[in-house]
Amino acid sequence: MSFNRLLAVAKKEVIQILRDSRSLFIVVIMPVTLMMLFGYGVNLDLKGLPVYVYDRDGSQQSQDLLKHFQASKYFTIARVVNNYPALTRALDDGHAKMGIVIPWDFSQRLSEGGPVQVQALVDATDDNTANVLIGYTQAVVQGYSSGIQIAWLRERGLQIQPSPVSVETRTWYNENLESSAFIVPGVLALVMSVIGTFLTSLTIAREWERGTMEQLISTPVSAMEIMMGKLAPYFVLGMFDVVICALIAIYWFHVPFRGSFLTLLVSSAMFLVVVLSLGFFISVLAKSQFAASQIALLITFLPAFLLSGFLFAIEQMPVALQWITRILPARYYVSILKKIFLKGTPTALLYADLVPLAVFAFVLAALATRSFHKRLE
């Protein structure tokens, strides 16, 4: 192995990256764009959901109940309507996530002390949102209801013991329950996958496609020197993007960073070796830029997006899928990222994630090395 030849390949690659606006775009603009997109765009928090109200009673009491809804940060009373069709239409066209109908005898039956029901029409297209809505609605109505009970008892000179059991919640790790804190660290895994696999898959395939590989393999440069020389610049760019993304996460999105920065760099380096090797491997097999980029997206970007635990909790997946996630390097990297950022888990406790990641890095690097030969078929 000659360091000078490796360096020659790396230098050539750097010049090519700098002259290719597409590569530069992917290296510089894409990470920032993805951070912004996921930091702002993907919001799993349910706040201010639009609610339409059809108050058939129009009494002091019904207004009271609606004030309880309005007071909750989860709901916004978007509009008050005066017929059913208007309510249904709002649900149909998505202007409302929920419609509340207060019956005409609401106040009357309340004054009689009798039970009265309020109707909630919920858009359950997204079952998750619907479940959360129903929960919040029940909580709001429950609160209103117990207020009436207490008042009723007081009027009769009775005292009620304040709720004997209550919960005092402490939210750890993501104290403000911001979904950006949950999502943004995982974006690093997405960025690495794109830089690593996508760009690398192009670089070798390009040499075959443009015919430059034939002349390259007729020189004394070894297969190993070609691989390392080609991957080195992307490794540096990948690490650069790790730092950029981490800084955006910490200083722009105020995601807490409680772990060790060194561990972040080491685990990112290992994940980069994984994705770079994978990209190289794909490129050697595909030999056309188009095929290589498609395969790269399919086997790295999509799993990193869907199955890594980046957006969707692995524990919530079907058991079969949970098993599949175990063979995805991105899963371990995302897990490390979330622990380093939010939990500050000491490095010694990250071995369950670090060791599999290291094994993947080693195996894939070995596979990539063996896949490439200085031979035409």
Partner 1 sequence: MTDQPQPAIVADGLTKSFPGVRAVDALSFDVRAGEIFGLVGPDGAGKTTTLRMLAGIMPPDAGNATVAGFDVVRNPEGAKHALSYMPQRFGLYEDLTVDENIRFYADLFGVKKAERRQRSSQLLEAAGMAEFRQRLAGKLSGGMKQKLGLVCALIHHPKVILLDEPTTGVDPVSRRDFWRILYELIAEGVAILTSTAYLDEAERCHRVALLHQGKLLFCDTPANLKAGMGKGVLSVTGPEPRSLRSQLEHADGISSLVLTGDGLHVVVDDAPRRIPEFEARLRAARVSFDAIQQVAPTIEDLFVDAVGSGGSTHA
Residues 6+ apart with CB under 8 A from 188: 242, 245, 246, 249, 268, 333, 337
* Alpha-helical runs (H) found in the chain: 3-19, 21-24, 30-36, 60-71, 84-92, 106-111, 127-155, 179-193, 200-210, 212-216, 223-247, 261-286, 289-296, 302-306, 319-325, 329-338, 351-371
By the rule CB under 8 A, 157 interacts with partner 1: no
By the rule CB under 8 A, 68 interacts with partner 1: no
Q: Give the nearest distance from C-beta 227 to partner 1 in angstroms.
A: 15
How far apart (Å, rounded) are the C-alpha atoms in residues 177 and 166?
20
Tokens of 316: 């919530």
Q: Which is nearer to partner 1, 11 or 254 (CB)?
A: 11
By the rule CB under 8 A, 4 interacts with partner 1: yes
By the rule CB under 8 A, 287 interacts with partner 1: no
Q: Do strands 119-122 and 98-102 pair parallel, antiparallel, or not at all (unpaired)? A: antiparallel
Residue in 25, 72, 68 with CA at minimum distance from that of residue 48: 72
Largest CA distance in the chain: 100
Q: Which is nearer to partner 1, 130 or 221 (CB)?
A: 221
Q: Which is nearer to partner 1, 63 or 222 (CB)?
A: 222
The torsion region of residue 69 among left (phi > 0), alpha (psi -120 to 50) and beta comes to alpha
Size of the site for partner 1 (CB under 8 A): 27
Using the rule CB under 8 A, give the single segment among 36-44, 154-162, 205-213, 335-343 that binds partner 1: 205-213
Using the rule CB under 8 A, give the single segment among 12-20, 99-107, 184-192, 194-202 that binds partner 1: 12-20
CA-based torsion, 9, 197, 26, 261: positive or negative: negative
By the rule CB under 8 A, 215 interacts with partner 1: yes
Q: What is the CA radius of gyration of the chain?
A: 29
Contact criterion met (CB below 8 Å) for 204 and 283: yes
By the rule CB under 8 A, 288 interacts with partner 1: no
By the rule CB under 8 A, 347 interacts with partner 1: no
By the rule CB under 8 A, 11 interacts with partner 1: yes
By the rule CB under 8 A, 113 interacts with partner 1: no
Per CB under 8 A, the list member of 159, 176, 218, 316 interacting with partner 1 is 218
By the rule CB under 8 A, 211 interacts with partner 1: yes
Per CB under 8 A, the list member of 42, 217, 224, 314 interacting with partner 1 is 217
Per CB under 8 A, the list member of 76, 88, 179, 222 interacting with partner 1 is 222
Q: Which class for 377: exposed (0-12), middle (13-18), buried (19 or more C-beta within 10 A)?
A: exposed
By the rule CB under 8 A, 154 interacts with partner 1: no
Q: Give the nearest distance from C-beta 237 to partner 1 in angstroms.
A: 17
Secondary structure (3-state) at 245: helix
Q: Which is nearer to partner 1, 169 or 215 (CB)?
A: 215
Residues 17-36 that bind partner 1 (CB under 8 A): 19-20
How far apart (Å, rounded) are the C-alpha atoms in residues 150 and 148?
5
Q: Provide the binding-site residues for partner 1, judged by CB under 8 A.
A: 2, 4-5, 7-9, 11-12, 15-16, 19-20, 210-212, 214-222, 374-376
